[in-house]
Amino acid sequence: MASFYLAVLLIALTPCGLDAVEDNDRFDCYPDDGATQQLCEARGCMWEETNNNKAPKCFYCPDAAFSLSVARTATGTVLWDTSVGGFTFSDQFLQISTKLPSSYVYGFGEHERNKFRHNMDWWTWGMFTRDEAPGPPSNGVNKNLYGMHPFYLCVEDDGKAHGVLLLNSNAMEVVLQPTPAMTFRTVGGILDFYMFLGDGPEDVVRQYTEFVGRPFMPPYWGLGFQLCKWGYGSLDVVKDVVKEMQEYNIPHDVQYGDIDYMERQMDFTIDPVNYQGLPEFVDQIRRDGMRYVIILDPAITTNETAPYPPYTNGTALDVWIKSGEDTSQPLTGKVWPYYPGTVVDPNAEWDYKVENYNAYSVFPDYFHADIDRWWGEFIKDFYKTLKFDGLWIDMNEPTNFVHGSVTGCSDNKWDNPPYMPKILGPNIYSKTLCMNSIHGGTEHYNTHSLYGWSQAEPTQRALREVTGKRGIVFGRSTFPSAGHFEGHWLGDNTAKWDHLHKSIIGMLDFGLFGMPYVGADICGFWDDATPDMCHRWMQLGAFYPFSRNHNYEGGAPQHPTHWDGVIADAARDALQTRYTFLPFLYTLFYQAHTQGSTVVRSLMHEFIEDKLTWSIDRQFLWGPALLVSPVLDQGEMDVNAYFPKGRWYDYYSVNSDRQGREVAGSDQGRSLLLPCDMDCIPVHIRGGHVIPTQEHANTTVYSRRKPLGLIVALDEAGRASGSLFWDEGEDIDTIGSNSYRMISFNVAESTLDITVERNGYTPDPELRYETIQVFGSPTMPTDVTVNGQSVASENIVKKTADKVRDYGKT
Ligand SMILES: *[C@@H]1O[C@H](CO)[C@@H](O)[C@H](O)[C@H]1NC(C)=O
Ligand SMILES: *[C@@H]1O[C@H](CO)[C@@H](O)[C@H](O)[C@H]1NC(C)=O
Ligand SMILES: *[C@@H]1O[C@H](CO)[C@@H](O)[C@H](O)[C@H]1NC(C)=O
């Protein structure tokens, strides 16, 4: 009887039952500001003080009655368990919480983070696309950046991995807590979850991209080095930069026009004074093997006095986002374009400029049925004037320099939702459009984060139609499946040292999101890079899949030949190494495009059995085989690099007599301190792989005509394999039309077999191998066969014998 009485008493005291709820097991019932015991209890939730200021005082009682769980059949691991309470499904507030099987969580974007692996100690990540530069939390809010990716990867304790997508475009937040557990809170739509069961991280990305769309196949030149600056000032400056790059013999495939090539930043115009002669210049650099990419922004000025067809035609087609107050009228805001006749005071404050220089703009609705007739036609029309090779779509969060519209926003349920997720404010419409505007047939509230994504496909379509080539589109604001149409750069970063490290985290994140064509602005966008920072950043950036140096209008020049060429040698060396590996990088993109694999890859994707790799984010792999361990800190002249189990070979020992070629042949992983002076960026090749290479040149047009090489890095059993994808380089859908060559390489028992698996493309000039380097062999390879025929004596080995070198253990 006594115990019965006690139980009754406790139930009366704690609505959650007999057991106290530990801090880590509490799920926040009052995420809004201003929680009090009274307000909490009015919600039917539990209030209890705690010394942990991150844990909620107001929390749900666990609720097993209304819950679901998902378990992995093979292992019994419970991947999801929502019995923790808090499930809410209402008009503008949907919430679900789940326990997780481990605290190894990755993904969600777009954000700046200190680690690739998430911190589970009560962190809230808002997601809603926003024109916001990467940086630390602002007013206690982790900044939501340009893109929205409600997708995470979780590695279970036994090394199996799964991914989860919440396919929902409304403003949302995710709370991570040490239970381990997470809570999704979104302000609209439905709870549309997709689970990808792996069972390793690489499988998860393959399954995810099978669902959202495989990454597009970039053209070969898109893997070359790219150079941009907002505010070169004039075409003469651009010409000088390009000439200098050639004089210093630094590989340089792509030159850019940022918004200053335009007349007053208006799409489909060229500044007639500062960029007079741009089309002829573009023709000339294209003849030299280079490419030109231009920026386009969505906002279209309404205030031209001379005819401006993009506005008048768009108005005739009625393609603009409409005002929520009067749906017959477009919503007007302000972005770049200036009023006609503007004389700009370069010292004017931002607000003064917006008020006085920036014209009223309208925003195209890229969901509009006639969008190709407008956007697509203007792209094609402009191509008649300027022969661009790629399109860079910026400002498509969409950004707006006035909040909501030129007249602000009315008080309505979309612009003042009952719950504001932890995104930057102060309002949900800050820096963008009113949420009640009509976009894609619904309130912008629902489609806001789809803006950049919706622009990508029509842009890619128009680019391909007008150039007849694949080209590249890359955008700032992205959403799941954007990788099928475009690449991404990591936005307006800053010339500061920690942004070298964070760029690796950003690349790994976008790898998970199925967007492998990614990189950060090399040497930083905002602020001025110092020569030593830019030097290290050029070395790191040489290993970004999308390798571009770019900075802002007021910033000091930072192209690799600046500073009297002080960093030019290091930049040239690193980029020449990049170009040497381009056949391998291109093959990785083919694999990403056809199988959904990652290109830049976290070490854990390859070494999941080694738990140390689950937290590594200062090194990264290209595919399975090439390990990059950059110097990321000022003044450092060595790198603490981790080598997982297996054989690893120092790439540079190929080209020098440096000793210690095999760095870490071992049964288990180990860390090594690698000396690394300013000339060095460590690159190691993993035993078991054959890497196709090619001699570098000033552009990919010329490198593609040079001899190929093979690096054969043997594993413990003396085996290695690899492949090479080769096509014309920029034709559309060479894979679908079988217009490519696929070659596989296999080494076993001292024989290298080269097999042409598919021969749908004949390069001109024909590919030839000049150098075959074998790492890790105590003896020379004795035989080479091509398609089963021994060719050793005549064609390959003799010709290259002097270059076939033994890199056996030393
Ligand atoms: C690249 O080198 C080739 C000759 O090797 C030359 O014809 C071409 O003009 C060069 N291109 C550039 C952009 O320097
Ligand atoms: C610019 O156009 C808007 C209409 O979109 C108009 O209301 C405004 O007065 C114009 N401003 C100027 C300075 O012409
Ligand atoms: C814009 O509209 C005008 C008038 O209808 C037409 O002549 C012109 O071809 C259109 N331009 C584009 C690029 O659609």
Q: Residue written as tokens 């087609």?
A: 317
Assess whether the C-beta atom of 377 lies below 6 angstroms from ligand 3.
Answer: yes
Which residues have a Cβ under 8 Å from the Cβ of 755 and sit 6 or more positions away? 743, 744, 745, 746, 786, 787, 788
The values of phi and psi at residue 427, to 5°, are -120, 165
The residue from 132, 397, 443, 492 that is catalytic is 397
Mutate to test the pocket of ligand 2, among 303, 320, 329, 363 (most ligand atoms within 8 A of CB): 303
In tens, the pLDDT along 336-371 reads: 999 999 999 989 999 999 999 999 999 999 999 999
Reduce the secondary structure of 697-714 to three states and give it as a string: CCCHHHHCCCCEEEEEEC
Residue 78 has pLDDT above 90, yes or no: yes
Distance between Cα 416 and ligand 1 center (Å): 58
Residue 381 has pLDDT above 80, yes or no: yes
- Name the band, by pLDDT with cuts 50, 70 and 90, for residue 784: confident
pLDDT value at residue 796: 44
- Name the band, by pLDDT with cuts 50, 70 and 90, for residue 807: very low
- Name the band, by pLDDT with cuts 50, 70 and 90, for residue 2: very low
Mutate to test the pocket of ligand 3, among 269, 313, 319 (most ligand atoms within 8 A of CB): 313
Strand partners, 708: 694, 769
Closest ligand by atom to 285 CA? 1
Q: How big is the chain by its Cα radius of gyration, in Å?
A: 28
Distance between Cα 740 and ligand 1 center (Å): 26
Residue 562 has pLDDT above 60, yes or no: yes
- Name the band, by pLDDT with cuts 50, 70 and 90, for residue 788: confident
- Name the band, by pLDDT with cuts 50, 70 and 90, for residue 62: confident
In tens, the pLDDT along 9-28 reads: 333 345 566 567 899 999 99
The one-letter amino acid at 805: R
Identify whether 397 is a catalytic site residue: yes
Mutate to test the pocket of ligand 2, among 311, 339, 360, 363 (most ligand atoms within 8 A of CB): 360
pTM: 0.95
Nearest alpha carbon, ligand 1 atom 2: 698
The values of phi and psi at residue 3, to 5°, are -65, -35
In tens, the pLDDT along 192-249 reads: 999 999 999 999 999 999 999 999 999 999 999 999 999 999 999 999 999 999 999 9
Index of the ligand 3 atom closest to the CA of residue 374? 14
Put residue 325 in one of left, alpha, beta given phi > 0 → left and psi -120 to 50 → alpha: alpha
Reduce the secondary structure of 779-808 to three states and give it as a string: CCCCEEEECCEECHHHHHHHHHHHHCCEEC
Average pLDDT over residues 452-469: 98
Assess whether the C-beta atom of 338 lies below 6 angstroms from ligand 2.
Answer: no
Index of the ligand 3 atom closest to the CA of residue 380? 13
Assess whether the C-beta atom of 311 lies below 6 angstroms from ligand 3.
Answer: no
Distance between Cα 359 and ligand 2 center (Å): 7
pLDDT value at residue 15: 57
Identify whether 349 is a catalytic site residue: no
Nearest alpha carbon, ligand 2 atom 3: 360
Average pLDDT over residues 682-699: 96
Nearest alpha carbon, ligand 3 atom 13: 378
Other CB atoms within 10 A of residue 141 CB: 16
pLDDT value at residue 791: 72
For residue 327, what are its two tokens?
A: 């749906």
Do you find a cis peptide bond into 201, omega within 30 degrees of 0? no
CB 698 within 8 A of CB 661: no
Distance between Cα 315 and ligand 3 center (Å): 11
pLDDT value at residue 13: 44
Closest ligand by atom to 337 CA? 2
Distance between Cα 191 and ligand 1 center (Å): 55
Helix, coil or strand: residue 591: helix
In tens, the pLDDT along 610-652 reads: 999 999 999 999 999 999 999 999 999 999 999 999 999 999 8
- Name the band, by pLDDT with cuts 50, 70 and 90, for residue 715: very high
Closest ligand by atom to 384 CA? 3
Assess whether the C-beta atom of 246 lies below 6 angstroms from ligand 1.
Answer: yes
Pairing of strands 783-786, 751-759: parallel
Laid out side by side, the sheet with 226-227 consists of 518-519, 487-489, 472-475, 390-393, 291-296, 254-257, 226-227, 548-549, 521-522
Assess whether the C-beta atom of 699 lies below 6 angstroms from ligand 1.
Answer: yes
Domains and CATH numbers, the chain: 2-200 (2.60.40.1760)
CB 321 within 8 A of CB 365: yes
Residue 800 has pLDDT above 50, yes or no: no
The one-letter amino acid at 56: P
The residue from 202, 389, 394, 521 that is catalytic is 394
pLDDT value at residue 743: 97
Put residue 733 in one of left, alpha, beta given phi > 0 → left and psi -120 to 50 → alpha: left
Assess whether the C-beta atom of 303 lies below 6 angstroms from ligand 2.
Answer: yes
Longest CA pairwise span in the chain (Å): 97
Average pLDDT over residues 663-685: 88
pLDDT value at residue 664: 57
In tens, the pLDDT along 178-191 reads: 999 999 999 999 99
For residue 408, what are its two tokens?
A: 């602000």
CB 613 within 8 A of CB 645: no
- Name the band, by pLDDT with cuts 50, 70 and 90, for residue 139: confident
Assess whether the C-beta atom of 360 lies below 6 angstroms from ligand 2.
Answer: yes
Distance between Cα 288 and ligand 1 center (Å): 5
CB 749 within 8 A of CB 720: no
Residue 667 has pLDDT above 90, yes or no: no
Average pLDDT over residues 62-66: 80
Residue 787 has, within 13 A of its CA and on its CB side, a CA count of 6
Residue 339 per-residue DSSP state: P
Residue 40 has pLDDT above 50, yes or no: yes
pLDDT value at residue 1: 30
- State the average pLDDT for the chain: 93
Average pLDDT over residues 435-462: 98
